[in-house]
Chain A
């Protein structure tokens, strides 16, 4: 093996490792929702992903997640909460609320129609 081959190999493996670490092992920051007027309300921006994408809420209290889709790409047109059987069609650049009351604690995913964009709803007791 020549020097450049060794270099490419090492760099490549390091890069692979960092891809694995970044996407699978590192944890994103969770956003805790503030409660006002008895409703837990949060604003989620949709653009290539959900931001914030990890949302911590309390069980048993009504929840309103306001989605604003800041892109026109068709992928993110729908947001789906399969565990709550809730869905909303997100009109671009418009605040679309999704409302429900999470009554069971646990971790629930939400996603776009294809499951490419994902977020997590952590319901605390």
Chain B
């Protein structure tokens, strides 16, 4: 395909009409266009350069225009900073930075300033331009002059920022702006110089967040850490067995030569002391490094507790083993090497299990990141080419074949297909897509092939925004976490102080041997306390809950939104687009005078084929759905405010309101009464007359979404008051409300008053959620305690909303509330568990039960309890992954 530069038409190439201009063959649709072009070629080529995808061009007055994508803008005020910095340069005509498109548009005089300086200015302002790096293997370079030749040639190319060629590795690294120059062009330049290119490694785009890229590496690091912990566990666990046996010689009935006081046992104990060293400094090395590093920053954590505990146990035991004579009684010269080994083994095991469990918790976001497509097949200059998805620019035409992943967001321009969007919307049934329909990047094309125009690329695609939103939500804090934060910053030092105080109390008032009791209590308190369970409780559940939401097409924006969504009393539903489809569709066909309903519909729809009225479109769609064959209308005439008329199959058809029928003196009979009833129900009836004889009525209305009734019933069952808000008149509003089972209706509400009505409900002391489309309802969404926006297509980042439902169904509202409740319940279980565990465990470890039971908690059991308390928290959070929507 080629494009006629004169009329802009897409034409078949080669065309019969063409001219040569500036060494280029230019094709036309007709001789007319060709002659126009030949007269004044400049005129048309300039306009050709004005195609929207061109981002770099020179105008007649020598001013160059440049569009540079900018990475890392966080606020609208950033734009000013960048603009000012660019404008400082000489030769800048104009610099505009657009925050929402994240682009800088610069007009400059190329003889005064170059692209590089502009990029430097952007960098100076603190931002990066969206540049990409390409690595190419180049062969047949023999000397260093080849290097400079290639480098110079590349640097001359507009859009190439830097090029460096390395003879040793036979490769070139090229930094370029994907919006200005593309990989194949760069390759062509190098090949044009006579150097073959061998293999192309995928260009690493500089665009994109740093957190996504090393995901695999993180996985590997996690895996390595897991394996290390398991090895450390095994080593400590193996040594634990003899350590336990020889620490309690009487208990295990060892021969007399190995009983307490014997020389043999003393030697065994001394060797245990030595063997404990690798346990402490290899198996338990992370406790010491962690504790020391934390000490330096004046903080204390789990490592501090474990390190202090095992060090105390080891020191005492070693002194007892080597210098038993310094103790006043023999009973005091006891050893606790078993504590060192068992605690290190168990805590390592617990940490390893935690890594495994946590890997599952973050699966949802990993899945989302994994959805990102890698390549796209674009059609540029009439040629198909596979390019990395990072290089797709706006308005690129992209070809998608059956079974392929759609690379970016866009609008279908040719062809149709059914698309599996379940990965984005959670809707399992494939969606039929036709021309002009929106497609979402990362969804899978099932049956047909089609071409679409890219409308959102890079960071703007729905998927990129979803990932961003989920990551943001997962890093936000639920309000409940604030209490935990307070506690956990005091937790570890408090435990250390409690351990010291317990030691004093047992030493001063405890039974004999008091030093042993004091030491056991000291170590047990340190070891049983588990700050991790406390710290993990909320974030881990939040992570699973938010991830689960994303899997079901529900984007919860923050921990606050999640917590707020469980405390609602009232749900306000906007009518249009929320309860209803938001666009009219055919609802009734009534006939009279012996006409068949298909016949009436066929005439009405055929007439509407020539009109462009949205109501007409819904009639045509209705006819197509009922497989009614349409004819082409002739002599079409539209009477604004009345209706339309045309000839179909030789019959004169009139379609319009009562006034239209009166104008043509058509007797409507009882149709008038029927139409009034329809109007009362919120429908729009249109009369149909065939050859000046009344034939019937076709009525269209904004229909209720098929699952609205179920969803509203479900919301009511959950104990929520459901309110409908609409600009419709009272009767229409109540008709719809009755249909879907809503009890309270605010009708005739002007769009700007919606927020006020939400406020009125709040003044009744209710916590209100507002559900709307996020555009017209933005103030009401913001006013509500929780704003839920029903997204459409690729618009997912709706600012005013706390929760975005990607799928248009109202069921999402119920699901979002259910999920929030389930997540909060999970968080509370975790917190209760963690507080209960520590609140009970620490006093017991300190010997609270001793007066009643006469025994102390063994440090070994404390170690086991501590190791598994945090695993329990993570496992409990992972239960949320099994959350099933009840609708």
A residues engaging B (CB < 8 A)?
A: 1, 5, 8-9, 12-13, 15-16, 19-20, 22-24, 26, 28, 37-39, 47-51, 53, 60-62, 71-75, 77-78, 80-82, 85-89, 91-92, 94, 96-97, 99-101, 103, 109, 113-119
Q: Is the Cβ of A51 less than 8 Å from the Cβ of B211?
A: no
Cα distance A74–B225 when bound, in Å?
Answer: 7
Contact with A116, one of B124, B286, B531 (Cβ below 8 angstroms): B531
Q: Is the Cβ of B211 less than 8 Å from the Cβ of A74?
A: no
Q: Is the Cβ of B124 less than 8 Å from the Cβ of A73?
A: no
Q: Is the Cβ of B218 less than 8 Å from the Cβ of A118?
A: no
**Chain A residues with CB under 8 A of B496:** 16, 19
Q: A47-B293, A49-B297, A91-B218 are in contact. Are A16 and B126 (CB under 8 A)?
A: no
Q: Is the Cβ of B301 less than 8 Å from the Cβ of A116?
A: yes
Select from chain A the residue with minimum beta-carbon distance to B873.
A114
Cα distance A5–B488 when bound, in Å?
Answer: 32
**Chain A residues with CB under 8 A of B54:** none
Residues of B511-570 whose CB lies within 8 A of A: 531-532, 535-536, 539-540, 558
Among B9-17, B40-48, B502-510, the stretch that binds chain A is B502-510
**A66–chain B nearest beta-carbon distance, Å:** 10
Q: Besides A9-B508, A37-B124, A49-B294, 12 other CB < 8 A contacts? A: A12-B501, A16-B496, A19-B497, A24-B490, A24-B493, A53-B298, A85-B558, A89-B211, A101-B75, A101-B78, A114-B531, A117-B301
**A2–chain B nearest beta-carbon distance, Å:** 9
Contact with B303, one of A1, A48, A96 (Cβ below 8 angstroms): A48
Q: A23-B298, A74-B358, A100-B74 are in contact. Are A92 and B508 (CB under 8 A)?
A: no
Q: A72-B224, A99-B72 are in contact. Are A116 and B302 (CB under 8 A)?
A: yes
Report 10 cross-chain contacts, Cβ distance below 8 Å, ordered by A residue.
A9-B507, A37-B124, A48-B303, A51-B293, A74-B351, A85-B476, A87-B211, A87-B474, A114-B539, A118-B489
Cα distance A37–B85 when bound, in Å?
Answer: 11
B interface size (C-beta, 8 A): 71
| B191 within 8 A of partner (CB) | no
**B522–chain A nearest beta-carbon distance, Å:** 10
**B348–chain A nearest beta-carbon distance, Å:** 11
**B85–chain A nearest beta-carbon distance, Å:** 7
Residues of B290-307 whose CB lies within 8 A of A: 290-294, 296-303
**Chain B residues with CB under 8 A of A48:** 289-294, 296-297, 301, 303
Q: Is the Cβ of B225 less than 8 Å from the Cβ of A103?
A: no
CB within 8 Å: A-B pair count: 173
Select from chain B the residue with minimum beta-carbon distance to A93.
B221
Interface SS of chain A: helix, strand, loop or mixed?
mixed
Cα distance A84–B496 when bound, in Å?
Answer: 33
**Chain B residues with CB under 8 A of A86:** 472, 475
| B214 within 8 A of partner (CB) | yes
**Chain A residues with CB under 8 A of B224:** 72
Q: A62-B72, A74-B355 are in contact. Are A23 and B300 (CB under 8 A)?
A: yes
Interface SS of chain B: helix, strand, loop or mixed?
helix
Q: Is the Cβ of B214 less than 8 Å from the Cβ of A113?
A: no
Q: Is the Cβ of A116 less than 8 Å from the Cβ of B475?
A: no
Nearest 6 pairs of A and B residues by beta carbon: A48-B293, A114-B535, A87-B475, A49-B297, A62-B126, A23-B493
Cα distance A47–B299 when bound, in Å?
Answer: 12
| B471 within 8 A of partner (CB) | yes
Contact with B297, one of A8, A50, A71, A81 (Cβ below 8 angstroms): A50
Q: Is the Cβ of B298 less than 8 Å from the Cβ of A73?
A: no
**A20–chain B nearest beta-carbon distance, Å:** 6
**Chain B residues with CB under 8 A of A23:** 298-300, 492-493
Residues of B419-478 whose CB lies within 8 A of A: 471-477
Cα distance A117–B298 when bound, in Å?
Answer: 10
**Chain A residues with CB under 8 A of B218:** 77, 89, 91
**B497–chain A nearest beta-carbon distance, Å:** 4
| B316 within 8 A of partner (CB) | no
| B167 within 8 A of partner (CB) | no
Q: Is the Cβ of B508 less than 8 Å from the Cβ of A51?
A: no
Q: Is the Cβ of B124 less than 8 Å from the Cβ of A38?
A: yes
Q: Is the Cβ of A20 less than 8 Å from the Cβ of B497?
A: yes
Cα distance A97–B124 when bound, in Å?
Answer: 17
Q: Is the Cβ of A115 less than 8 Å from the Cβ of B211?
A: no
Q: Is the Cβ of A77 less than 8 Å from the Cβ of B297?
A: no
Q: Is the Cβ of B508 less than 8 Å from the Cβ of A8?
A: yes
Q: A19-B493, A62-B127, A116-B301 are in contact. Are A5 and B210 (CB under 8 A)?
A: no
Q: Is the Cβ of A113 less than 8 Å from the Cβ of B292?
A: no
**Taking each of A19, A61, A81, which has the highest tally of chain B beta carbons within 10 Å of its own beta carbon?**
A19
Q: Mark B253-295, 1 if CB is under 8 A from A, else 0.
A: 0000000000000000000000000000000001001111110
**Chain B residues with CB under 8 A of A15:** 500
Q: Is the Cβ of A38 less than 8 Å from the Cβ of B85?
A: yes
| B673 within 8 A of partner (CB) | no
Q: Is the Cβ of B488 less than 8 Å from the Cβ of A115?
A: yes
Residues of B361-414 whose CB lies within 8 A of A: none
Q: Mark B51-90, 1 if CB is under 8 A from A, else 0.
A: 0000000000000000000001011011001000100000
Q: Is the Cβ of A51 less than 8 Å from the Cβ of B123?
A: no
Q: Is the Cβ of B126 less than 8 Å from the Cβ of A38?
A: yes
**Chain A residues with CB under 8 A of B123:** 37
Select from chain B the residue with minimum beta-carbon distance to A80.
B475
Q: Mark B225-248, 1 if CB is under 8 A from A, else 0.
A: 100100000000000000000000
Cα distance A74–B488 when bound, in Å?
Answer: 19
Q: A1-B508, A49-B296 are in contact. Are A73 and B125 (CB under 8 A)?
A: no
Q: A8-B508, A9-B508 are in contact. Are A74 and B222 (CB under 8 A)?
A: yes
Q: A113-B539, A114-B532 are in contact. Are A89 and B78 (CB under 8 A)?
A: no
Cα distance A94–B218 when bound, in Å?
Answer: 10
Cα distance A119–B296 when bound, in Å?
Answer: 12
Q: Is the Cβ of B475 less than 8 Å from the Cβ of A82?
A: yes
Q: Mark B478-489, 1 if CB is under 8 A from A, else 0.
A: 000000110011
**A108–chain B nearest beta-carbon distance, Å:** 12
Q: Is the Cβ of A38 less than 8 Å from the Cβ of B72?
A: no
Q: Is the Cβ of B504 less than 8 Å from the Cβ of A118?
A: no
**B362–chain A nearest beta-carbon distance, Å:** 9
**Chain A residues with CB under 8 A of B632:** none
Q: Is the Cβ of A115 less than 8 Å from the Cβ of B484?
A: yes
| B625 within 8 A of partner (CB) | no
| B325 within 8 A of partner (CB) | no
Cα distance A22–B81 when bound, in Å?
Answer: 43
Q: Is the Cβ of B507 less than 8 Å from the Cβ of A72?
A: no
| B215 within 8 A of partner (CB) | yes
Select from chain B the residue with minimum beta-carbon distance to A48.
B293
| B111 within 8 A of partner (CB) | no
Residues of B100-147 whose CB lies within 8 A of A: 123-127
Cα distance A29–B399 when bound, in Å?
Answer: 58
Cα distance A8–B476 when bound, in Å?
Answer: 46
| B354 within 8 A of partner (CB) | yes
**Chain B residues with CB under 8 A of A19:** 493, 496-497, 500
Select from chain B the residue with minimum beta-carbon distance to A53.
B297
Q: A48-B303, A85-B558, A114-B539 are in contact. Are A13 and B504 (CB under 8 A)?
A: yes
Q: Is the Cβ of A22 less than 8 Å from the Cβ of B75?
A: no
| B217 within 8 A of partner (CB) | yes
Q: A85-B475, A91-B214 are in contact. Are A117 and B299 (CB under 8 A)?
A: yes
**Chain A residues with CB under 8 A of B74:** 62, 99-101
**Chain A residues with CB under 8 A of B503:** 8, 12
Select from chain A the residue with minimum beta-carbon distance to B485.
A115
**Taking each of A20, A87, A89, which has the highest tally of chain B beta carbons within 10 Å of its own beta carbon?**
A89
**Chain B residues with CB under 8 A of A60:** 77
**B833–chain A nearest beta-carbon distance, Å:** 15
Cα distance A7–B807 when bound, in Å?
Answer: 71
**B395–chain A nearest beta-carbon distance, Å:** 29
**Chain A residues with CB under 8 A of B536:** 113-114
Select from chain B the residue with minimum beta-carbon distance to A49.
B297
**Chain B residues with CB under 8 A of A75:** 290, 301-302, 532
Cα distance A53–B296 when bound, in Å?
Answer: 10
Q: Is the Cβ of A88 less than 8 Å from the Cβ of B501?
A: no
Cα distance A20–B228 when bound, in Å?
Answer: 35
